[in-house]
Amino acid sequence: MYHDKVKLENAFRVGGSFRSLPFLNMKIGGNLMRRTTLVLVCLMVATALAASVFAAPAKDQTLTMNLGVAEPETLDPAKSTGVAESTILLNLHEGLTRLDKDGNPAPGIAEKWDISKDGKTYTFHLRNAKWNNGDPITAQDFEWSWKRALAPETMAEYAYQLWYIKGAQAYTEGTGKAADVAVKAINDRTLQVELNAPTGYWLSLCAFPTLLPVHPKTVEANPDKWFMSPKTYISAGPFKMTEWKHNSQLVLEKNPLYWDAKNVKLNKVVITLIDSQITELTMFETGELDYGDNPPPAEFPRLQKEKKLAISPYLGCYYYLLNVNVKPLSDVRVRHALSMAIDRTTITQITAGGQKPATAYVPFGIPDLKSGTDFRTAGGAYLKETAQVAEAKKLLADAGYADGKGFPTLSILYNTNEMHKTIAEAIQEMWKKNLGINVTLTNQEWGVYLESRNTGDYSVARAGWIGDYVDPMTFLDMWVTGGGNNDTNWGSPKYDELIKTVMNSGVQAERVKAMHAAEDILMKEMPIIPIYFYTRPYLMKPWVKDMIRLVTGHIDLKYSYIEAH
């Protein structure tokens, strides 16, 4: 799914204010006075307990948070790919659906929907909702927005999230027309969508950033810059943008025209734009931040001891991309040798956030075919947790580079971040010690780093992928030949066919079988090197309540509030 910039439940509501009170089992006897006194005492105790549990909201409902980026890559929903950006977007906008605290799709702009018997046609009925400029949100706005995201000229990396719609893929690839895409506004409040095949997670995708509606008139009037200023940023979610000091801070305020504004408690959200982990921690500890998403790993032991650090599940994999157009990475033996020379257990000890060594690509936490089974468990391990030095050296020798002789210097590209640097330094040392090859390190700011990846200007690059929804497809569909997020230049016709089978099949057994087969090809070809499965360490003040954190990395602030403190 989304690029990270840093029985498993689907989501967490963090810092929730609702707790169960202990049941008081009392035997009451004696006269009326004693009973009355006891009742009064009980009421006083209950009142005191209630006051402590259901503490009043603070007068100042301002949340100050940092998401670990110095500047959002883009806040155009069609073009955004980052986790931090997605959090901002999902609080500024709302899709047909909105994920609830358990990660399940709930009514959003659509108040209800009908599904055909064959599971392929969805008819959404929109509520009487408005953009933050007062214009009504219409079904035509959704149709226009989705076709814009699919248009070849938009070059949206996530266009494929809409390819489940009949005619969508052909339009993006230039072999079809917009008119052939089976999304249609029946009237102002009714949107009909026809899918290629039944898709169990379609309603979850309707909450995904790429499928968020944008205001057509605003985008048409200023197509390249509408999303860069509060003056032209029209949205329809719980919050609206009121300030954007680029590379400094972004301010969101409660949107009074949001259809469910009565349930939005925060008046303001100040998002500091800081990618320095040390600076974030300093601001958190000096009271300048209520929430930090990018704490420095070196401080984890102290922060955990002081109960300042929390760790939540995260449906994602940290891995290295290998540019197969660069020799000798074009040789699959070399790619496997590099993977085998990495001690994943050591890496997770360095990261110190509860991460697990990645012995495959698709992480744990996604159901397999049979109820109660896990896709990762069923698929098994392809990689070892510790380095397999002898096997790695043999593969490198078979490729013509015995003991690393004649092997060109590699460069590991990573976006500026202390953890990425530490991991890269560790792998640099492992490859030198275990294989005898030399490695240099290159760090770039987020936007430049993404451009280097997209243009293939790298040999090895760190990457991370966080699931968009709880299905293996969210990890596998990105590796199709020429896919918008496939920066490895690798491709496999057999892999592409398997992914097409998954997308077009309504039979779950067939889908799961094809997804296991696709991962098998990916791990045998090794255009990527899985390193660890994510967790998500974060900093949060105890007075921040009812923040919803999904395992997909998205943070929903709709119900959040600041408790009096």
CA nearest to 565, candidates 64, 61, 67, 66: 61
| 483 neighbors 473 (Cβ within 8 angstroms) | no
Element holding 144 (H helix, E strand): helix 139-150
Query: CA angle 501-506-508, nearest 5°?
Result: 85
φ and ψ at residue 184, rounded to 5 degrees: -145, 130
CA distance 538 to 515: 32
Contacts of 143 (CB under 8 A, 6+ apart): 183, 184, 185, 191
- pLDDT, position 372: 86
CA distance 503 to 198: 9
CA nearest to 453, candidates 528, 519, 342: 528
Same fold, 63-266+543-562 and 313-536: no
Averaged pLDDT, groups of 10, the chain, 565 residues long: 45 34 30 36 38 71 96 96 94 98 94 97 98 98 99 94 96 97 99 95 96 98 95 98 97 99 98 95 98 93 94 94 98 99 97 94 93 93 98 98 97 94 98 98 93 96 93 95 93 97 90 98 99 95 95 93 96
Tokens representing 198?
């039944």
Partner residues linked to 440 by β-bridges: 411
- pLDDT, position 352: 87
The architecture CATH gives domain 313-536: Roll (3.10)
- To the nearest 5 percent, what fractions of the chain are helix, strand and coil? 35, 20, 45
Neighbours of 73 (CB within 10 A): 19
Return the biggest CA–CA distance within the chain: 97
- pLDDT, position 20: 28
| H and E: helices and strands count for the chain | 17, 23
DSSP reduced 3-state for 105 = strand
- Global pTM reads 0.79
φ and ψ at residue 64, rounded to 5 degrees: -110, 125
Secondary-structure class of domain 63-266+543-562 per CATH: alpha beta
What are the domain boundaries of the chain?
A: 63-266+543-562, 313-536
